[in-house]
């Protein structure tokens, strides 16, 4: 398992990929940041907070995370290296977990870069540390959920570009599922609404950003991650049986 | 020992491999011969545990590939048709990754990598990105990967494709050398390659085994219909009667006049060609006919191969199949005469 994890990390960090990726994220992050503080001028009611800002950050994830995950399995198939992994004494489950952990590591690396902004802010203003930590935990869960989704899509196709595009669509749906359940049309059917709403991730993220750490939310994110990783595992196994 | 029993693969309703069974002995090189699309790669992928089989079992040194895959795979080194290399990795980096994947103990890794790089002569490219390597080098890097950890059983799917003639010879020598410590199954659609390297051959087409036999047997059965070419100087009738009367000559097929009393005879032989040739030589000399040239056609294995794979029959012994093959040289003679 470890060799695969290491190899994945090498492919991110020995190439400009991880750095360009983190830089792009920092750029987007700083744009929201400067936008947020620009609003402070001439307004007495607006208070800037990082946790508010994180809502726009998870929107960026829709475009960023697929870039990270699109190659995970699609590239292995394209290069014909899937055979190598499958005929080595490593189980498919371990391959999936190793690749997931590697993606999460890169994600943590880019998340770490953004700590720069609260630190600067704390020097010149005030940061509610406890709330910020909760928000970071929330955003960490959100990103890892997207990574699991992206990996699943990547296991479905041979084309990284296609994996990225389909991944974006699914992530978009995941982000706005609560808005969808609140539409007038769905509201007509309260039972349907409650079922759809129970899949909504954004309200759960909201708790984190407000400074709550609830077990139920963590279980929700963990479950989504496990479900998508299991699907990834099953897709790979199933494709071996169907290949023709 | 590797046991393959009743191995079958369906792709939907399409049967790619049809109930094939064979054994690969220790320290044996088994050639797997068949035209493109015969089911070679599918079979090898199943043996290596990449593709699940529709039916049958593969047992590698006692471990069933489906029931105990991790144990079975530890004994396998596999070079698939397309070398499984990462274009963005350097050769050494890649091999070190593979060594880890194959659970080569950490302390032995660098030594092991050096060993396989030396064996396949890729030390000079060890720092290069695989993306920038030529097809031949990529193939050799893929081969090196299969040898890492010294697995007992090697599966090589067309290992010489894309190599230049020099490299082909090198790789063949390596494969021959591997026999000392490994069992090898090695696929190819080039017959001469298989006959140069393998102890036994399996000929497969459309998922069916057409023949399993040793190269010697294959050649021996072909040698029963040897064609001898003789060029003589002297009297045509004397030469013809002398050659025709010699014991072991089956049929005098063709006489060509090449001018200045030189004649070329084409003769079918039966039995041992050496004694027949001796007899012809001495008989001709006794009768004042001098021999300018004498040679036999090499047994044409390519023709056997083509006949075997195109034949709808199956499960016959190789000998039976060979006996049914019409004599190739006879056909060509007829053609020439028509012209």
Q: What is the mean pLDDT of residues A200-206?
A: 88
A chain contacts of residue B85, beta-carbon cutoff 8 Å: 79, 81
B207 contacts in chain A (CB < 8 Å): none
Expressed as residue numbers, the domain containing B333 is 302-338
* Partner residue opposite B101 with nearest CB, options A11, A79, A88: A88
Do B196 and B310 sit in the same domain of this protein?
no
Q: Are the beta carbons of A87 and B88 separated by less than 8 Å?
A: no
Looking at residue A168, its pLDDT comes to 93
Convert the pLDDT of each residue in A136-183 to its tens digit.
999 999 999 999 999 999 999 889 999 999 999 999 998 888 888 888
**Better-predicted residue by pLDDT, B164 or A216:** A216
Q: Please give the structure tokens belonging to residue B241.
A: 């009667």
Same-domain check for residues B134 and B90: yes
The average pLDDT across A24-33 equals: 89
Q: Look-up: residue for tokens 């010489």?
A: B160
Please tell me the total count of domains within chain A: 1
Q: Which is higher by pLDDT, A2 or B308?
A: A2
Across the beta sheet with B249-257, the strand order is: B249-257, B262-269, B227-233, B290-296
Do B170 and B233 have their domain in common?
no
CA distances from A126 to A47, A123, B246 (A): 11, 8, 114
Q: What is the pLDDT of residues B253-295, one digit of tens each?
A: 778 888 888 888 888 777 677 777 888 888 888 888 888 888 8
Q: Within this chain, do residues B87 and B155 fall inside the same structural domain, yes or no?
A: yes
Residue A238's closest chain B neighbor by CA? Answer: B52
B57, B162: one domain: yes
End-to-end CA distance of chain B: 55
Under an 8 A CB cutoff, do A83 and B86 touch?
no
pLDDT value of position B10: 86
What tokens were used for B238? 């004397």
Q: Which of B49, B86, B100 sits opposite A3 (nearest CB)?
A: B100
Mean pLDDT of B33-40: 82
User: Residue A244's pLDDT is what?
Assistant: 44
Q: What residues of B are in contact with residue A71 (Cβ under 8 Å)?
A: none
d(CA B165, CA B272): 34
Q: Are A83 and B45 inside 8 Å of each other by CB?
A: yes
Query: What is the number of domains present in chain B?
Result: 3
For residues A132 and A96, what is the distance between their CA atoms, to the nearest angstrom?
31
State how beta strands B208-214 and B183-188 pair. unpaired
Rounded to 5 degrees, what are φ and ψ at B226? -80, 145
pLDDT at A84: 92
Provide φ and ψ at B315, rounded to 5°. Answer: 65, 10
Nearest-Cα distance to chain B for A20, in Å, is: 17
- pLDDT digits over A87-129, tens only? 999 999 999 999 999 999 999 998 888 888 888 888 888 888 8
B145 contacts in chain A (CB < 8 Å): 84
Cβ distance A244 to B14 less than 8 Å, yes or no, reads yes
Contact flag A7-B97 (C-beta cutoff 8 Å)? yes
CB contact under 8 A, A86 and B49: yes
pLDDT of B325: 52
- How far is the alpha carbon of B270 from chain A, nearest alpha carbon, in Å? 49
- Least Cα separation, residue B113 to chain A (angstroms): 15
Task: For residue A244, give both structure tokens.
Answer: 């023709």
- Which residues of chain B have a CB within 8 Å of the CB of A74? none
pLDDT at B163: 82
Does B320 score more than 80 pLDDT?
no
For residue A121, what are its two tokens? Answer: 């802010």
Q: Which of A7, A11, A243 sits opposite B51 (nearest CB)?
A: A243
We report the CATH number of the domain holding residue B232 as 3.30.70.1150
Residue from the list B14, B45, B86 with its beta carbon closest to the beta carbon of A79: B86
Is the pLDDT at B309 greater than 70, yes or no?
no
Task: Please compute Rg for chain B using Cα positions.
Answer: 25
pTM: 0.78
Same domain membership, residue B204 and residue B74 = yes
Mean pLDDT of all residues belonging to chain B: 81
Find out whether B98 and B113 touch, Cβ atoms under 8 Å. no
- Closest by CA position to B48, among listed B28, B30, B75, B21: B75
Percent of chain A with pLDDT over 90: 35
Shared-domain flag, residues B203 and B133: yes
**In CATH, what number is assigned to the domain containing residue B55?**
3.40.50.300
Within this chain, do residues B166 and B19 fall inside the same structural domain, yes or no?
Answer: yes
Determine the Cα–Cα distance for residues A88 and A23; give it in Å rounded to an integer: 36
In this model, does residue A227 exceed pLDDT 90? Answer: yes
Which of chain B's residues have a Cβ under 8 Å away from the Cβ of A243?
11, 51
Of B214, B217, B185, B218, nearest in space to B201 by CA = B214
Q: How distant is the Cα of B146 from the closest Cα of chain A, in angstroms?
A: 9
8 Å CB contact between B329 and B227: yes
* Percent over 70 (pLDDT), chain A: 98
Q: Quote the domain boundaries for residue A224.
A: 2-39+47-242
User: Is B87 in Cβ contact with A244 (below 8 Å)?
Assistant: no
Nearest CA among A204, A205, A187, A207 for reference residue A196 = A187
Q: Is the CB of residue A238 less than 8 Å away from at least one CB of chain B?
A: no
Secondary structure of chain B as H, E, C letters? CEEEEEEEEEECCEEEEEEEEEEECCCCEEEEECCCCCCHHHHHHHHCCCCCCCEEEEEECCEECCCCHHHHHCCEEEECCCCCCCCCCEHHHHHHHHHHHCCCCHHHHHHHHHHHHHHCCCHHHCCCEHHHCCHHHHHHHHHHHHHCCCCCEEEEECCCCCCCHHHHHHHHHHHHHHCCCCEEEEEECCHHHHHHHCCEEEEEECCEEEEEEEHHHHHHHHHCCCEEEEEEECCHHHHHHHHHHCCCEEEEEEEEECCCCEEEEEEEECCCHHHHHHHHHHHHHHCCCEEEEEEECCCCHHHHHHHHHHCCCCCCCHHHHHHHCCCHHHHHHHHHHHC
* Residue contact A3–B97, C-beta within 8 A: yes
Q: Report the gap between the CA of B116 and the closest CA in chain A (Å).
A: 17
Mean pLDDT of B78-97: 91
* A16 → chain B, closest CA residue: B88
Are residue B41 and residue B161 in the same domain, yes or no? yes
Three-state SS for chain A is CHHHHHHHHHHHHCCCHHHHHHHHHHHHHHHHHHHHHHCCCCCCCCCCCHHHHHHHHHHHHHHHHHHHHCHHHHHHHHHCCHHHHHCCCCCHHHHHHHHHHHHHHHHHHHHHHCCHHHHHHHHHCCCCHHHHHHHHHHHHHHHHHHHHHHHHHHHHCCCHHHHHHHHHHHHHHHHHHHHHHCCHHHHCCHHHHHHHHHCCCHHHHHHHHCCCCCHHHHHHHHHHHHHHHHHHHHHHHHHHHHCC
Touching B: A residues 82-101, CB under 8 Å: 82-91
Residue B195 or residue A70, greater confidence: A70
Q: A80 to chain B nearest CA, in Å? A: 5
Quote the pLDDT of residue B265. Answer: 83
Residues A161, A178, A113, A120, CA torsion sign: positive
Question: Does B107 share its domain with B231?
Answer: no
Cα A112 to Cα A135: distance, rounded to the nearest angstrom? 13
| Res B299: pLDDT | 55
Q: Which residues of B touch A91 (CB under 8 A)?
A: 69-70
Amino acid B315: pLDDT: 45
Strands B29-33 and B249-257: unpaired
Q: For the residues B9-31, what does the mean pLDDT come to?
A: 87
Cα B70 from chain centre:
31
∠ CA B291-B295-B298 to the nearest 5 degrees?
A: 175
Order of strands across the sheet that contains B63-64: B14-24, B2-11, B55-60, B63-64
Mean pLDDT of B215-239: 74
Q: Is the pLDDT of residue B324 over 70?
A: no
For the segment A130-140, the average pLDDT, to the nearest whole number, is 90
Provide the chain A residues 25-84 that lie in CB contact (below 8 A) with chain B: 79-84
Query: If you count residue pairs, one on A and one on B, with CB atoms under 8 Å apart, how many are there?
Result: 75
**Displacement of CA B164 from its chain's centroid (Å):** 18
> A43-57 b/e with 16+ CB inside 10 Å = b?
eeeeeeebbebbbeb
Same-domain pairing of B213 and B243: no
* Span of A43-47, B45-49, B71-75, B158-162 with lowest mean pLDDT: A43-47
Q: What is the pLDDT of residues B218-229, one digit of tens each?
A: 666 655 567 788
CB A22 within 8 A of CB A29: no
For the cut 70, the answer to whether the pLDDT of residue B57 exceeds it is yes
CA dist A142 and B1 (Å) reads 51
Interface test with B, best of A16, A18, A84, A236 (most B CBs within 10 A): A84
Q: Are residues B143 and B240 in the same domain?
A: no
Considering only residues A4 and A127, tell me which one the structure prediction assigns the higher pLDDT. Answer: A4
């Amino acid at each position: 398992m470890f060799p695969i994890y290491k190899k994945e990390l090498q492919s991110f960090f020995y190439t400009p990929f991880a750095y360009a990726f983190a830089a792009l994220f920092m750029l987007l992050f700083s744009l929201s940041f400067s936008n947020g503080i620009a609003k402070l001028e001439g307004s007495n009611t607006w208070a800037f907070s990082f946790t508010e800002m994180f809502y726009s950050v998870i929107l960026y994830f829709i475009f960023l995370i697929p870039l990270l995950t699109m190659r995970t399995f699609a590239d292995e198939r394209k290069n014909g290296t899937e055979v190598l992994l499958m005929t080595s004494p490593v189980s498919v489950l371990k391959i999936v977990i190793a690749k997931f952990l590697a993606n999460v590591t890169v994600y943590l690396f880019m998340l770490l870069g953004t700590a720069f902004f609260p630190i600067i802010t704390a020097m010149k203003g005030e940061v509610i540390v406890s709330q910020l930590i909760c928000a970071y935990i929330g955003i960490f869960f959100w990103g890892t959920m997207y990574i699991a989704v992206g990996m699943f899509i990547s296991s479905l196709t041979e084309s990284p570009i296609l994996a990225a595009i389909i991944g974006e669509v699914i992530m978009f749906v995941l982000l706005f599922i609560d808005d969808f359940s609140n539409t007038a049309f769905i509201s007509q059917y309260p039972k349907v609404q409650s079922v759809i709403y129970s899949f909504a991730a954004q309200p759960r993220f909201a708790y984190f950003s407000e400074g709550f750490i609830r077990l139920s939310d963590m279980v929700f994110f963990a479950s989504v991650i496990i479900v998508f990783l299991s699907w990834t595992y099953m897709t790979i196994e199933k494709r071996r049986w169907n290949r023709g | 020992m590797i046991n393959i029993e009743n191995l079958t693969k369906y792709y939907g309703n399409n049967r790619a491999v049809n109930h094939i069974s064979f054994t690969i002995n220790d320290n044996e090189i088994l050639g797997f011969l068949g035209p493109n699309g015969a089911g070679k790669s599918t079979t090898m992928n199943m043996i290596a545990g990449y593709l699940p089989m529709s039916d049958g079992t593969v047992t590698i040194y006692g471990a069933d590939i489906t029931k105990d895959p991790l144990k079975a795979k530890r004994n396998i080194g596999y070079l698939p048709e397309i070398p499984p290399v990462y274009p963005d990795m350097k050769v050494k980096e890649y091999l070190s990754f593979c060594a880890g994947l194959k659970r080569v103990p950490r302390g032995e890794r660098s030594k092991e990598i050096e060993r396989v790089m030396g064996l396949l002569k890729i030390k000079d490219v060890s720092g290069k990105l695989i993306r920038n390597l030529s097809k031949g080098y990529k193939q050799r890097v893929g081969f090196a990967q299969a040898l890492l950890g010294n697995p007992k059983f090697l599966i090589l799917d067309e290992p010489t494709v894309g190599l230049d003639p020099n490299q082909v010879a090198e790789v063949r020598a390596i494969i021959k050398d591997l026999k000392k410590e490994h069992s090898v199954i090695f696929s190819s659609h080039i017959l001469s390659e298989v006959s140069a390297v393998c102890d036994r051959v399996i000929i497969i087409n459309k998922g069916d085994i057409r023949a399993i036999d040793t190269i010697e047997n294959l050649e021996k059965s072909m040698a029963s219909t040897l064609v001898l070419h003789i060029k003589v100087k002297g009297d045509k009738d004397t030469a013809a009667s002398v050659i025709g009367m010699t014991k072991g000559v089956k049929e005098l097929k063709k006489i060509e006049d090449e001018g200045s009393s030189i004649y070329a005879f084409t003769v079918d032989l039966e039995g041992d060609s050496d004694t027949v040739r001796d007899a012809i030589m001495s008989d001709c000399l006794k009768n004042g006919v001098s021999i300018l040239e004498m040679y036999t056609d090499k047994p044409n294995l390519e023709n056997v191969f083509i006949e075997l794979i195109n034949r709808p029959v199956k499960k016959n012994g190789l000998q039976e199949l060979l006996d049914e093959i019409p004599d190739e040289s006879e056909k060509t003679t007829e053609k020439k005469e028509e012209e």
